[in-house]
């Protein structure tokens, strides 16, 4: 009997233990804590998106100087980098052959003038016909023209500096045979200032106008930025690159600048209508020109998910086409943890 009672007590104890283990705890009600975010007021700006381009620095007037006629180079008294004055002799051909042609042309003119005088006398005596007189006059005119041609070629057998400037390149040497029109010297004028020629994409050139300001800086050279302005915009687009050439005129000469330097230019278009500008960190889930951001109202503690369309990007700034409430605040950091309607706490700066 005693053993039976002990067995019953053991069974009751086990059942009590199992009953206690089978009871489920009731979870406590949890309250979602607001997400701490950093937000800033919506900023509107009329600033246009800058145009970035790379170009080549050069003087406004640069020319390849050559001889009008071919011949043997007699002398080139200047070297690369020399400063020259207007009218200074830069190169000349040996004039033996050219002077001979001038003498030949002058002799032909003298003969034609004598023939004309003789025919005029014969015509006065009614010996020569009118046709003879006209032919003699034509021959005299042709001889005079030949003299002009020979003297013109003689004058252009010498290259003189067209203005004050510098010698950029020397493309021939004495005793070489120079062909007519073949460049002998590359010359740059000091009087017309400096320019930068850049190629701009089609989508950007439509936003630019003559007179727009720019800043240029040599690439890879320690030098200060220089102010410039858009002087000319080409009317033609390069088919291969789909770019349009612009000419930027520098306001001051670049210190230590050289023709051919590669420079970077930042061109500022004219102001546009006001539009929102936000930090790139505020955008999430961007596809193409569309993206999302979160707005927090002025007296609100919830975030609203808004789709926006981008007009362009400049560094870490994004210009929007979509209008935003001016009194709202844009979530700058922490947006990746938010959902539409989420409770937020805006951190104090």
- Distance of CA 17 to CAs 11, 21, 22, 246, Å? 10, 6, 9, 90
Instruction: Decide whether 37-46+273-346 matches 96-156 in CATH topology.
Output: no
The residue count of the chain comes to: 349
Structure tokens at 118: 């003789």
Q: How far apart are CA 242 and CA 159, in angstroms?
A: 39
Q: How far apart are CA 325 and CA 6, in angstroms?
A: 80
- Distance of CA 10 to CAs 1, 19, 210, Å? 15, 14, 102
Instruction: Specify the fold of 49-93+157-270.
Output: OB fold (Dihydrolipoamide Acetyltransferase, E2P) (2.40.50)
Structure tokens at 213: 């300001």
Counts for the chain of helices (H) and strands (E), in that order: 4, 23
- Domain-wise residue ranges, the chain: 37-46+273-346, 49-93+157-270, 96-156
Three-class DSSP category at 20? helix
Predicted pLDDT at 31: 54
Instruction: Specify the fold of 37-46+273-346.
Output: 2.40.420
User: What is the pTM for the complete model shown?
Assistant: 0.70
Q: How many Cβ atoms sit within 10 Å of the Cβ of residue 329?
A: 21
Tell me, rounded to whole angstroms, the distance of Cα 89 from its chain centroid.
Answer: 36
Q: What is the pLDDT tens value at each position of the chain, 349 positions in all?
A: 444 344 433 433 433 443 444 444 444 444 568 888 899 999 999 999 999 999 999 999 999 999 999 999 999 999 999 999 999 999 999 999 999 999 999 999 999 999 999 998 888 888 888 899 899 999 999 999 999 999 999 999 999 999 999 999 999 999 999 999 999 999 999 888 999 999 999 999 999 999 999 999 988 777 788 999 999 999 999 999 999 999 999 999 888 788 889 999 999 999 999 999 999 999 998 888 999 999 998 888 899 999 999 999 998 999 999 999 999 999 998 888 888 989 988 887 6
328 within 8 A of 44, measured Cβ to Cβ: no
Q: Give the residue from 56, 29, 46, 50 showing the smallest Cα distance to 264.
A: 56
CATH code of the domain occupying 96-156: 1.10.287.470
């Amino acid at each position: 009997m005693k053993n039976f009672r002990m067995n019953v007590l053991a069974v009751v104890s086990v059942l009590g233990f199992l009953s206690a283990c089978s009871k489920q705890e009731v979870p406590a009600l949890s309250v979602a804590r607001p997400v701490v975010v950093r937000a800033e007021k919506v900023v509107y700006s009329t600033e246009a998106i800058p145009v970035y381009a790379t170009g080549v620095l050069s003087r406004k007037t640069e020319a390849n100087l050559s001889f009008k006629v071919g011949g043997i180079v007699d002398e080139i008294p200047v070297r690369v980098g020399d400063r020259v004055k207007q009218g200074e002799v830069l190169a000349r051909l040996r004039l033996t052959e050219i002077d001979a042609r001038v003498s030949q042309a002058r002799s032909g003119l003298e003969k034609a003038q004598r023939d004309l005088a003789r025919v005029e006398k014969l015509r006065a005596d009614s010996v020569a016909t009118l046709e003879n007189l006209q032919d003699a006059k034509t021959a005299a005119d042709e001889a005079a023209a030949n003299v002009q041609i020979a003297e013109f070629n003689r004058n252009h057998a010498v290259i003189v500096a067209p203005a004050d400037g510098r010698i950029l390149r020397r493309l021939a040497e004495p005793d070489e045979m120079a062909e007519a029109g073949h460049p002998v010297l590359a010359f740059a004028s000091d009087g017309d200032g400096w320019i930068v020629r850049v190629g701009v994409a089609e989508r950007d050139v439509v936003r630019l106008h003559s007179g727009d300001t720019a800043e240029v800086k040599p690439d890879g050279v320690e030098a200060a930025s220089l102010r410039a302005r858009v002087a000319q915009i080409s009317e033609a687009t390069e088919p291969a690159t789909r770019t349009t050439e612009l000419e930027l005129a520098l306001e001051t000469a670049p210190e230590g600048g050289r023709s051919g330097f590669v420079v970077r230019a930042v061109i500022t278009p004219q102001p546009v209508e006001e539009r929102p500008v936000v930090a790139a960190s505020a955008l999430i889930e961007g596809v193409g020109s569309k993206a999302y951001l979160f707005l927090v109202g002025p007296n609100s503690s919830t975030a609203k998910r808004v789709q926006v369309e981008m007009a362009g990007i400049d560094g870490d700034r994004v210009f929007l086409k979509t209008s935003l409430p001016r009194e709202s605040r844009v979530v700058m950091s922490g947006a990746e943890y938010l959902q539409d309607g989420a409770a937020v706490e805006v951190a104090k700066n």
